[in-house]
Amino acid sequence: MGDAAKELRVVVFASGSGSNFESLAAYEPPVRLWRVVALVTNRAGVGATVRADRLGIPVRVVPTAGRTAEEVSGATLSALSDLRADIVCLAGYLRLVPEAVIARFRGRIVNIHPALLPRFGGEGMYGIRIHRAVLEAGERVTGATVHHVTEEYDKGPVIDREEVPVLEGDTPESLARRVLRVEHRLYPRTLDLLVRDLSTNAASDLHIAK
């Protein structure tokens, strides 16, 4: 078997512009430990799918609208099984991840959040609202966090964070742009850390059960 067989298969979930998806998919590591093998989205035609097409990465649309939680859960698990996913990265995925998916991928499903968790996280804290809340609270420092996904929204163990200064005259939009640039280097770097950690913990077979 060649080296490629050892690369872990990463599936990214995104519903929006997909700039974090692209930062993961286009990452050129010093040593390749993982590779983005597919994009899963709940909405066809979003920015993330355009980026995936440009990068030649397959897209799976798993619609959530008008479906029961059980249907979404079954369709998501079956897509991940088909894709032989080892790791799931949420990157602006605007739907609740079914609990069965979280349970199946425990320790191997992560999310990026554009603030320093545990502050400015939880229900209702998404998009520009986060950066507005940071400015309203008079914070001097914000940042980005990559954390494990658990059943409790934004509460899973933190893997890594990077700080971003809040500057005089910042608007929610200027802050969002500066944090997003940091996210783009934090996410792939953190995935390297996670994958190294998984292999030193001798996870013998990370492929999900079929």
Contact with ligand GRF (CB under 6 A) among 51, 104, 108, 113 = 113
Of 63, 62, 57, the residue nearest 36 (C-alpha): 57
Closer residue to ligand GRF (CB): 62 or 91 = 91
CA dihedral 146→151→154→158, nearest 10 degrees, is: -40
Return the biggest CA–CA distance within the chain: 55
Alpha-carbon distance of 188 to 172, in angstroms, equals 25
Is residue 113 annotated as part of the catalytic site, yes or no?
yes
Query: Which residues 11-70 are close enough to bind ligand GRF by CB under 6 A?
Result: 14, 16-20
Contact with ligand GRF (CB under 6 A) among 112, 159, 164, 175 = 112
Query: Which residues 72-91 are close enough to bind ligand GRF by CB under 6 A?
Result: 91
Give me the least distance between CB of 5 and ligand GRF, in Å please: 29
DSSP 11: E
Tell me, residue by residue from 176 to 195, as one string, x for binding to ligand GRF by CB under 6 A and - for no binding.
Answer: ----x--x------------
Residue 41 contacts residue 12 (beta carbons within 8 Å): no
Give me the least distance between CB of 94 and ligand GRF, in Å please: 8
Q: What is the CA radius of gyration of the chain?
A: 17
**Containing H/E element for 194?**
helix 172-200
Closer residue to ligand GRF (CB): 18 or 98 = 18
Give me the least distance between CB of 20 and ligand GRF, in Å please: 3
